[in-house]
Amino acid sequence: MIPDINPIMLVSMNDVLRIKHEFMETTFEIMESLHDMFGKQSNQSRHEVARTYMTTKMKNGVSMCVHVLRMINGMHEEKIYGVVIDECTQVSIIVESLTPTFSEFTTNYIMNKLEFNMTQLLNDLPTFESLNKTITKVEEENLIEEKHSTSKDNTK
């Protein structure tokens, strides 16, 4: 014999919910009522999580790794609400959220129709970032050298 779950459910509810549900005959009715009352909150939560990671853009000065991990975390939160986003789309969302510093990486990804999985993305982004910093440092050194040599020429 299956025990009646209704009394157990009613005892675990707060007073307002208990009064609302105590006259319902079946557990199914109680569950359906609770879903009607609180199920919409999960829809709202799912929407808020999706909006957060879909509108997130990497900020200057924020570590690329930290940003990507935040994006991945947002996508995993979506899974909790039953939304599954394929890995290729996840990678595209992350690539589009990067700062203009990564514009060459993004252009290369799009123009060459690359299809990274998350592991490849997590390996290639730091490599690009490192190469980009090296190139930027060399450009800065060249600019300083040019200014220095120009100022020497002007003093002659």
Residue 123, classed as helix, strand or coil, is: helix
Q: Cα–Cα distances in Å, from 99 out to 59, 61, 150, 155?
A: 7, 10, 33, 41
Domain boundary among 55, 72, 87: 55
Query: Within this chain, do residues 4 and 22 fall inside the same structural domain, yes or no?
Result: yes
Query: Within this chain, do residues 109 and 36 fall inside the same structural domain, yes or no?
Result: no
Q: Which residues of the chain have pLDDT under 50?
A: 1-2
Helices 103-111 & 118-155, crossing angle to 10 degrees? 130
Which residues span the domain enclosing 5?
1-55
Query: Within this chain, do residues 94 and 126 fall inside the same structural domain, yes or no?
Result: yes
Query: Within this chain, do residues 7 and 46 fall inside the same structural domain, yes or no?
Result: yes
Of 95, 93, 89, the closest CA to residue 128 belongs to 95
Query: Within this chain, do residues 17 and 33 fall inside the same structural domain, yes or no?
Result: yes
Query: Within this chain, do residues 83 and 126 fall inside the same structural domain, yes or no?
Result: yes
What is the predicted pLDDT for the residue at 1?
38
Rounded Cα distance between 21 and 36, Å, is: 13
What is the predicted pLDDT for the residue at 2?
43
Query: Within this chain, do residues 51 and 68 fall inside the same structural domain, yes or no?
Result: no
What is the predicted pLDDT for the residue at 147?
61
Rounded Cα distance between 30 and 19, Å, is: 12
What is the predicted pLDDT for the residue at 133?
76
